[in-house]
């Protein structure tokens, strides 16, 4: 099913490049990665959890990446290493290099004469690069993208089709923006005055650090006054909303559908599960993990894993149980009253 890998490597070459111990035939030739289940000739798979023991037994992969503890679980050619998943990631990157794209500006692109586009950059069909924008070496702007005025995009970036970047935003190096991403739209800044909402100009920018990746249809609003800042190495999945003046610390990873309201600062090395919601003007320190579907309405000042998930049940059971939540306070009072009455009775009893 997969696109064929573009090059072939002997197992010995892979181990020479990435380390690990090679068991079995060093001359096995590998051209692609695959799952244990789907792998066939010329393909390498990884085994990282005993959950997949059955798949390991049945696999037709020509080689396996696994840990020392699992080294004896197969007789196929294998690479033994500390972290099979990370090792696999490197092998996959080796076998699947980014496609080469011809440099240059498509005749149906609209590049303003005052924009500075590196000769090694690629501007796709029907893309727009506005006045004063700068596109650095080897960066690819795909079809239908809109790069606003005075935007600066660093080297080796890739903007997939139909990305929009508003004026004045700054994008680092090796940044990937997937289709539908919106960088630098106005934050939700309104003031109630004289019986109607008045818009507050959003004059900050969005600044994305190096090696940031942003998933499809994710939106990052420009700052109201200061900038919205996404630090280096942050990985954002699809359909995330990041409000104005947020700051996301380096190497934090956020799964899909998360909403982060304005002016919240999230630390470095955090992990936020899918569909979590984080309120505005909060502070979350480094190394905080937040479970999927969790709502955070106050600051988190200590590392740890946090959750706020209503447990799932059959709807008929939910109907019976959930209603009591509206009366928990009364229930606690009843228990307290029982304790008092019982204590009194026990007193008499003695």
Catalytic residue list: 244
Helix (H, G, I), strand (E, B) or coil at 91: helix
Report the alpha-carbon distance of residue 225 to residue 201 in Å, rounded.
9
Q: Write out the H or E segment, with its range, that includes residue 69.
A: none
Strand 190-193 with 196-199, pairing = antiparallel
Could you tell me the CA-to-CA distances from 170 to 1, 20, 114 in Å, in that order? 38, 40, 17
CB within 8 Å of 296: residues ≥ 6 apart: 276, 277, 278, 279, 282, 284, 290, 306, 308
Taking CB under 8 A as the criterion, the residue among 3, 102, 119, 347 binding a second copy is: 3
Residues in 161-220 that interact with a second copy by CB under 8 A: 161-162, 164, 166, 168, 176, 178-180, 182, 185-186, 188-201, 203-205, 211, 213, 215-217, 219
Taking CB under 8 A as the criterion, the residue among 121, 255, 272, 284 binding a second copy is: 255
CB within 8 Å of 317: residues ≥ 6 apart: none
Report the alpha-carbon distance of residue 123 to residue 120 in Å, rounded.
10
Nearest residue (CB) to a second copy, 54 versus 320: 320
- Tell me which residue of 53, 34, 32 sits closest to 42, measured CA to CA: 32
Taking CB under 8 A as the criterion, the residue among 16, 50, 114, 308 binding a second copy is: 308
- Tell me which residue of 208, 154, 212, 203 sits closest to 183, measured CA to CA: 208
Helix (H, G, I), strand (E, B) or coil at 52: helix
Nearest residue (CB) to a second copy, 8 versus 72: 8
Report the alpha-carbon distance of residue 217 to residue 45 in Å, rounded.
31
Strand 176-177 with 196-199, pairing = unpaired
At closest approach, how far in Å is the CB of 140 from a second copy?
A: 13
Nearest residue (CB) to a second copy, 72 versus 101: 101
Residues in 319-338 that interact with a second copy by CB under 8 A: 319-329, 331-332, 334-335, 338
Q: Write out the H or E segment, with its range, that includes residue 336.
A: helix 328-349
Is residue 238 involved in binding a second copy (CB under 8 A)?
A: yes
At closest approach, how far in Å is the CB of 9 from a second copy?
A: 15
At closest approach, how far in Å is the CB of 196 from a second copy?
A: 5
Residues in 84-143 that interact with a second copy by CB under 8 A: 85-86, 88-90, 92-93, 95-96, 106, 108, 110, 124-128, 130, 142-143
The phi-psi region of residue 239 (left if phi > 0; otherwise alpha if psi is between -120 and 50; otherwise beta) is left
Nearest residue (CB) to a second copy, 29 versus 271: 271
At closest approach, how far in Å is the CB of 207 from a second copy?
A: 9
Q: Where are the alpha helices (DSSP H) in 20-167?
A: 53-58, 84-95
Taking CB under 8 A as the criterion, the residue among 27, 69, 119, 310 binding a second copy is: 310
Nearest residue (CB) to a second copy, 77 versus 234: 234
Report the alpha-carbon distance of residue 153 to residue 169 in Å, rounded.
8
At closest approach, how far in Å is the CB of 49 from a second copy?
A: 10
Give the total residue count for the chain.
Answer: 350
Nearest residue (CB) to a second copy, 10 versus 106: 106
At closest approach, how far in Å is the CB of 13 from a second copy?
A: 18
Nearest residue (CB) to a second copy, 26 versus 203: 203
Taking CB under 8 A as the criterion, the residue among 56, 261, 266, 284 binding a second copy is: 261
Taking CB under 8 A as the criterion, the residue among 25, 265, 274, 285 binding a second copy is: 274
Is residue 50 involved in binding a second copy (CB under 8 A)?
A: no
Q: Write out the H or E segment, with its range, that includes residue 13.
A: helix 11-18
- Tell me which residue of 223, 294, 204 sits closest to 264, measured CA to CA: 223
Size of the site for a second copy (CB under 8 A): 139
Taking CB under 8 A as the criterion, the residue among 279, 283, 286, 287 binding a second copy is: 279
At closest approach, how far in Å is the CB of 180 from a second copy?
A: 5
């Amino acid at each position: 099913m997969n696109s064929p890998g573009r090059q072939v490597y002997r197992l010995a070459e892979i181990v020479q490049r990435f380390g690990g111990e090679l068991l079995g035939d060093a001359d096995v030739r590998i051209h692609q990665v695959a799952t244990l289940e789907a792998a066939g000739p010329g393909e390498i798979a990884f085994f990282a959890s005993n959950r997949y023991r059955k798949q390991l037994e049945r696999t037709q992969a020509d080689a396996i990446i696994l840990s020392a503890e699992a080294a004896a679980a197969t007789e196929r050619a294998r690479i033994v290493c500390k972290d099979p998943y990370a090792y696999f990631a490197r092998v996959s990157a080796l076998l699947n290099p980014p496609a080469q794209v011809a440099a240059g500006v498509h005749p149906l692109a609209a590049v303003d004469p005052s924009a500075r586009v590196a000769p090694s950059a690629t501007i796709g069909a029907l893309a727009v690069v506005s006045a004063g924008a700068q596109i650095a070496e080897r960066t690819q702007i795909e079809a239908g993208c809109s790069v606003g005025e005075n935007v600066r995009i660093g080297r080796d970036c890739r903007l997939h089709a139909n990305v929009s970047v508003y004026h004045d935003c700054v994008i680092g190096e090796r940044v990937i923006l997937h289709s539908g991403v919106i960088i630098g739209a106005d934050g939700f800044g309104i003031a109630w005055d004289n019986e109607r909402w008045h818009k507050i100009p959003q004059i900050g920018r969005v600044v994305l650090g190096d090696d940031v990746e942003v998933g499809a249809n994710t939106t990052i609003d420009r700052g109201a006054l200061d900038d919205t800042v996404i630090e280096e190495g942050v990985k954002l999945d699809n359909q995330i909303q990041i409000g104005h003046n947020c700051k996301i610390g380096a190497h934090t990873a956020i799964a899909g559908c998360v909403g982060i309201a304005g002016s919240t600062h999230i630390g470095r090395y955090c992990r936020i599960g899918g569909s979590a919601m984080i309120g505005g003007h909060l502070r979350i320190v480094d190394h905080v993990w937040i479970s999927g579907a969790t709502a955070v309405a106050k600051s988190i000042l200590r590392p740890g894993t946090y959750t706020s998930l209503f447990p799932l049940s059959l709807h008929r059971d939910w109907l019976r149980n959930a209603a009591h939540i509206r009366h928990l306070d009364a229930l606690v009072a009843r228990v307290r009253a029982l304790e008092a009455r019982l204590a009194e009775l026990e007193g008499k009893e003695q």
